[in-house]
C-alpha cells in the first residue's frame, strides 16, 4: 500500500463535534465505487468518529466494511498523520478475535478504513433481550479477552471496550471492532493528548480522573463492566447524567448481582472492576485464566462436600476406637460402645454440618473477596484440622462411656443407657462452642444447636 503524502496545514488539533457531521458526505456514498475498487452498499452503523458501510471488492468479489472518518480527521495535519500511522499498525493485526484492517486511503478529502466484514450482531443488540446464562457470558468474554490480550502484546490499548464494539457470530465467535480511539504504549493516539475518550458507561476510573496515565488495565476494567452487564442485564453504574455515572465509576462499589453466578466468576469480575489499576488483573491473560477456572458442580457446593467428609471422618474415628478395644473387652462393652458411637456420631454430625455451613458463611463474609483460592483452602484446612481433633477426643469419650455402661447390672442398664445418651448429646457441643461463637459473629441467624438435635 502506498501511503499518501501528508500536506502540512496550519490548524490546531480538533475533534469531531455536533457541527462536524460526516453524514452530509456519507449520504452520497451508497452505489459509488471508492479507490477504484470498493463498491459501497448499505450503511451498517455510525458513531462519533464516522460512518460504516457494507462494500464489495469488485475484482475479488469479497465482502468488506468501509469506515469513512469524520471530516475533522482529514482536515487536521496531526490527526491525519496519526490516522495513517494507526492504520498501518492495525493492518498488521492477525487474530481471530480482532477485526482485520485490509486497506486505508484518502479520497475527496475524506479518510477511509477498509476492514474485514464480520457477520453477526453487536453484543449490545443481544443484551436487549436480557441477561445471558453464565456459560454463554464466559464464552463471549473469553473471546474478548483473547483479542485484547493479543493487541496489548502489540503495545496497543483499545480504550473503548463496550457491547456495541463486540460482534457476536452465530457460533458465539467474538470479533472486537472499532480501534478508532486506540492508543499505543508510547502515548501516540488519534485524539489530542490528554483528551478523555471512551463511553461513559464503560470508562475506567483513570480514564475519568487521569486520562494521560491510561494503560492496558483500562481495558481490563471495561471488560469487567461488560461481564457484569452480560450477567445482570444492565451496566453496574448508570444514572441520569454522565457526571453521576463518572462519580460512581470513581467512588462507588458495583451493586451486588441479583442473579446467581459461581463464586470464581464473581470474584474475577470484582477484581477486574477494582478502582485502582494495581488491584486489578495484571492483564487480560490473567483475567482469562481466572475466568476459565471450573465452576463448582451444580447442587454439590464445596461446603456440602466437606460436610460429607466430616461425617465420614466422625464415623471412622469413632469406630476405630471401638475396634481397638473390641479384642480386650467383653461383648457387652463392645456393643455399648458401638451404640454410643452411633449416638455421638449422629450428634457430632448434626453439629459439624452446621459448623461447616457457618465456616463457609464466615469465609464468604471475610475472605472471598480478598484472598486467592489457595489461601482459602488453607484457611478451611485449619478449620478441618481442629474439628478432626475434637472428633477424635469425643470418640474416645464415647467409648469410655460404653465401657462404663457394660459394668452396670442388667436391671439398671436401661436407665443408665438413657442417661448416657443424654450425656453424649450434651458433651459433644462444648468441644466446639468457641468455634460456634466466632462463627455466629459472622452473621449466623439459624436456630441454636439445642434446637437441632432431632
pLDDT over threshold 90, residue 83: no
Return all residues near 27 (Cβ < 8 A) that are at least 6 apart.
none
The beta-strand segments (E) located in 100-196 are 101-107, 110-116, 121-122, 156-157, 166-168, 174-176, 183-184
Longest CA–CA span in the chain (Å) reads 114
Rounded mean pLDDT of 405-431?
62
Q: H/E/C letters for each residue in 392-415?
A: HHHHHHHHHHHHHHHCCCHHHHHH
DSSP-based three-state secondary structure for 444: coil
Among all chains, which residue has been given the C-alpha cell 490527526? 79
pLDDT over threshold 70, residue 96: yes
Span 124-148, pLDDT tens digits:
999 999 999 999 999 999 999 999 9
pLDDT at 135: 95
The C-alpha torsion from 221 through 227 and 233 to 234, rounded to 10°, is 0
- % pLDDT > 70, the chain: 55
pLDDT over threshold 50, residue 78: yes
The C-alpha torsion from 244 through 247 and 251 to 257, rounded to 10°, is 40
50-57 and 62-69 strand pairing: antiparallel
Per the annotation, the verdict on 160 as an active-site residue is yes
Q: Grid coordinates in use for 131?
A: 441477561
Span 241-264, pLDDT tens digits:
999 999 999 999 999 999 899 999
**Strands laid side by side in the 33-34 sheet:** 33-34, 38-47, 50-57, 62-69, 110-116, 101-107
Q: Around Cβ 346, how many Cβ atoms within 10 Å?
A: 17
Among all chains, which residue has been given the C-alpha cell 453504574? 237
pLDDT over threshold 60, residue 439: no
Fold exhibited by the domain 121-291: Transferase(Phosphotransferase); domain 1 (1.10.510)
Span 383-408, pLDDT tens digits:
555 555 555 655 566 566 666 666 66
The confidence band for 279, taking pLDDT boundaries of 50, 70 and 90, is very high
Q: Give the separation between CA 21 and CA 253, rounded to whole angstroms.
A: 37
For domain 23-116, give the CATH number. Answer: 3.30.200.20
Among the residue ranges 94-108, 327-341, 433-447, the one predicted with the least confidence is 433-447
DSSP states of 283-309? SHHHHHHHHTSPPPPTT--HHHHHHHH
Rounded mean pLDDT of 364-387?
47
Q: Give the separation between CA 261 and CA 135, rounded to whole angstroms.
A: 10
Extents of the domains making up the chain: 23-116, 121-291, 302-452
The confidence band for 303, taking pLDDT boundaries of 50, 70 and 90, is very low
Model pTM? 0.60
Highest mean pLDDT out of 98-112, 139-153, 186-200: 139-153
Q: Give the separation between CA 47 and CA 316, rounded to whole angstroms.
A: 68
Q: Give the separation between CA 198 and CA 21, rounded to whole angstroms.
A: 19
pLDDT at 404: 66
More confident residue, 241 or 83: 241
pLDDT at 374: 42
Catalytic annotation, pick one of 76, 103, 149, 160? 160
- % pLDDT > 90, the chain: 43
Rounded mean pLDDT of 29-38?
95
Amino acid at each position: 500500500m502506498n501511503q499518501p503524502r501528508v500536506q502540512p496545514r496550519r490548524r490546531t488539533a480538533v475533534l469531531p463535534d455536533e457541527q462536524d457531521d460526516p453524514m452530509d458526505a456519507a449520504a452520497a456514498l451508497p452505489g459509488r465505487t471508492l479507490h477504484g475498487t470498493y463498491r459501497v452498499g448499505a450503511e451498517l452503523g455510525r458513531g462519533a468518529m464516522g460512518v460504516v458501510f457494507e462494500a464489495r471488492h469488485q475484482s475479488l468479489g469479497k465482502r468488506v466494511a468501509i469506515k469513512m472518518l469524520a471530516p475533522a480527521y482529514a482536515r487536521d495535519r496531526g490527526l491525519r498523520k496519526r490516522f495513517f500511522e494507526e492504520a498501518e499498525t492495525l493492518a498488521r493485526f492477525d487474530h481471530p478475535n480482532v477485526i482485520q484492517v485490509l486497506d486505508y486511503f484518502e479520497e475527496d478529502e475524506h479518510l477511509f478504513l477498509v476492514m474485514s466484514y464480520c457477520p453477526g450482531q453487536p453484543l449490545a443488540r443481544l443484551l436487549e433481550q436480557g441477561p445471558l446464562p453464565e456459560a454463554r457470558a464466559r464464552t463471549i468474554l473469553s473471546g474478548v479477552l483473547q483479542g485484547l490480550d493479543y493487541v496489548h502484546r502489540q503495545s496497543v490499548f483499545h480504550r473503548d471496550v463496550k457491547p456495541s464494539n463486540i460482534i457476536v457470530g452465530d457460533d458465539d465467535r467474538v470479533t472486537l471492532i472499532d480501534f478508532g480511539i486506540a492508543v499505543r504504549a508510547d502515548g501516540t493516539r488519534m485524539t489530542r493528548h490528554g483528551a478523555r475518550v471512551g463511553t461513559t458507561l464503560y470508562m475506567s476510573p483513570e480514564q475519568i480522573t487521569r486520562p494521560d496515565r491510561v494503560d492496558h488495565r483500562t481495558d481490563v476494567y471495561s471488560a469487567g463492566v461488560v461481564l457484569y452487564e452480560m450477567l445482570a442485564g444492565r451496566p453496574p453504574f448508570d444514572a441520569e447524567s454522565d457526571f453521576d455515572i463518572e462519580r460512581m465509576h470513581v467512588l462507588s462499589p458495583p451493586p451486588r448481582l441479583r442473579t446467581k453466578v459461581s463464586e470464581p466468576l464473581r470474584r474475577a469480575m470484582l477484581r477486574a472492576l477494582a478502582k485502582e489499576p494495581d488491584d486489578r488483573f495484571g492483564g487480560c491473560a490473567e483475567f482469562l485464566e481466572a475466568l476459565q477456572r471450573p465452576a463448582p458442580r451444580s447442587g454439590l457446593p464445596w461446603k456440602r462436600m466437606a460436610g460429607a467428609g466430616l461425617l465420614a471422618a466422625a464415623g471412622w474415628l469413632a469406630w476405630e476406637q471401638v475396634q481397638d478395644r473390641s479384642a480386650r473387652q467383653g461383648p457387652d462393652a463392645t456393643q455399648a460402645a458401638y451404640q454410643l458411637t452411633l449416638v455421638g456420631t449422629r450428634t457430632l454430625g448434626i453439629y459439624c454440618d452446621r459448623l461447616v455451613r457457618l465456616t463457609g458463611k464466615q469465609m464468604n463474609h471475610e475472605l472471598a473477596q480478598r484472598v486467592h483460592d489457595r489461601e482459602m483452602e488453607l484457611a478451611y484446612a485449619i478449620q478441618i484440622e481442629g474439628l478432626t481433633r475434637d472428633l477424635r477426643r469425643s470418640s474416645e469419650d464415647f467409648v469410655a462411656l460404653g465401657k462404663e455402661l457394660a459394668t452396670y447390672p442388667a436391671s439398671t442398664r436401661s436407665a443408665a443407657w438413657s442417661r448416657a445418651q443424654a450425656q453424649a448429646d450434651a458433651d459433644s457441643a462444648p468441644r466446639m462452642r468457641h468455634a460456634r461463637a466466632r462463627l455466629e459473629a459472622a452473621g449466623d441467624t439459624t436456630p441454636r444447636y439445642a434446637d437441632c438435635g432431632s
